[in-house]
A = this chain, B = another copy of it.
Amino acid sequence: MAMSTEPLTAERILVATEEVLRRYGPAKATVVDVARQLGVSHGSVYRHFRTKAALREAVTERWLNRSTDLLRGIAARQDLESGVVLRLWLSELFQAKMHKAGDDPELFQTYEVLLRENSSVVEEHIAELVGQLTTIIRFGLERGEFTVPYESPAVSARAVFDATGRFHDPVYAAEWSRRSIVDDFGAVVDLLLQGLRKR
């Protein structure tokens, strides 16, 4: 328990929630545990998150969005050829997922449970990522660097996201420690880029 005179913010509650989830696991962690961790009453926590479900949803969203800002920065780059930007973006996504899975496997498993509980949060996250891919592809089309089989760049963005699922979908986390995985990733990205690039 850590008494503190800092104001109780949503962010502090979410940090404490992650710590509690890590310690007790997603099945046992309660709002009372989170309040105890912060040295406040559980009423104070409920003033920020009205239900336990809302708190779990918010902590899941925070976990998913941790790498989104960095990726958005890559998607917005206009100083590089679009194919290079796309490769950078896909590599960064894969790296971020690999680190999440490898650096703290217990926390990763905890979030696996939360992701199943919060499918709408997951869907929003995927929509955000596909939106970033759409930005990259649209810009590539505008500059005449890319060509796509459909008029809508969003359809091709979704196709790129689906085609690289093996390298970002957590169901494949167990395969990310295989030695061959980086070559497999490179082969898929090269084939997709060969498709997207105007020849």
Binding site for B on A (CB under 8 A): 147-150, 155-156, 158-160, 162-166, 171, 184, 187-188, 190-196, 199
Contacts and interface: CB of A to CB of B under 8 A. Distances in A.
A184 B163 CA distance: 10
Integer count of this chain's copies in the complex: 2
B199 A199 contact: yes
Contacts of A160: 191
Which among A166, A184, A191, A196 has the highest number of chain B CB atoms within 10 Å? A191
Contacts of A187: 149-150, 155-156, 158-159, 162
30 contacts: A147-B194, A148-B194, A149-B187, A149-B191, A149-B193, A150-B187, A150-B190, A155-B187, A156-B191, A158-B184, A159-B184, A159-B191, A160-B191, A162-B166, A162-B184, A162-B187, A163-B164, A163-B191, A163-B192, A165-B165, A165-B166, A171-B171, A191-B192, A191-B195, A192-B192, A192-B195, A193-B195, A194-B195, A195-B195, A195-B196
A165 B184 CA distance: 13
A129 B132 CA distance: 33
Nearest to A155: B187
A160 to B, nearest CB: 7
A199 B162 CA distance: 24
Contacts of A156: 187, 191
A127 B35 CA distance: 53
Contacts of A162: 166, 184, 187-188
Contacts of A194: 147-149, 195-196
